Homo-oligomer: A and B are copies of this chain.
Amino acid sequence: MPVKSKTRYALLGILNLSPMSGYDLKKFCDEGVSQFWNENYAHIYPTLRELEREGLAVAETAQTQGRPVKRIYHITGKGQKELNEWLLMPVEQAPPRYELILKLVFSTGVPVENIREKILRYKEQNEKALADVMAGENKIKNQPGANNLKWKQLWIIGINSGKYSYKAAIEWCDDTLEILKGMK
């Protein structure tokens, strides 16, 4: 089975948690999994139609007042099967493209103050992201059920990954700011 767009699997995975509309899926991405995944409307809606055509999801249409008909998608058995096959497959890692680092190593001619600003900005972004994942952790832990339920543990593992990496990034920023102090 060839791997297709990851959006397909992301949407199937979310629909497997609960049926929802394209709009809801976007919200879920922005609120529930934004620390490690994202999608935009222009990718979600066509992909949902594709899942429907292939019988991996079915749409239930719900009337709403004065708005476009709301299409609530449900994953099918075939969709669950395809999702599961994907979940079992090993993850190949994407080649890195860290623009910040690329700029840094080329920055011999750039004023140190400009470099410092970039690092400070990056630090702030990571502090914000860290705060977000900590909030997410609380949200998961406060869900009904014991904290050693498999699904809860898996979400906590995911959140942990953010914690570790954002903390490391913040430490690197502090380290770097120290080095920059002595640089002209």
Q: How far is the CA of A106 from the CA of B171 in the complex (A)?
A: 30
Binary contact track A24-60/B, C-beta < 8 Å → 1, others 0: 0000000001011110000000000000000000000
CB neighbours of A104 from chain B (8 A): 154, 157-158
Contact, CB under 8 Å: A36 / B183: no
Q: Interface residues, chain A, CB within 8 Å of chain B?
A: 6, 9-10, 13, 16-17, 33, 35-38, 83-84, 86-88, 90-91, 93-110, 114, 117-118, 121-122, 125, 148, 150-151, 153-158, 160-161, 164-165, 167-169, 171-172, 175-176, 179, 182-184
* This chain: copies in complex: 2
Beyond A91-B118, A165-B168, 13 additional contacts (C-beta under 8 Å) are: A13-B106, A36-B96, A38-B96, A87-B109, A87-B110, A88-B110, A93-B100, A93-B122, A94-B97, A108-B150, A165-B169, A165-B172, A168-B168
Are the CB atoms of A36 and B101 closer together than 8 Å?
yes
Asked whether A6 and B97 contact (CB < 8 A) given A103-B91, A106-B16, A107-B154, the answer is yes
Q: Specify which of A9, A84, A161 lies most central, judged by the most chain B CB atoms within 10 Å of its CB.
A: A161
Judging by beta carbons under 8 Å apart, are B87 and A91 in contact?
Answer: no
Q: In the complex, A109→B157 CA distance in Å?
A: 16
Contact for A96 among B35, B109, B171, CB less than 8 A: B35
Please state if A91 and B95 are interface contacts (CB–CB under 8 Å).
Answer: no
Cβ–Cβ < 8 Å partners of A176 in chain B: 157, 160-161
Report the nearest B residue to A35, measured CB to CB: B96
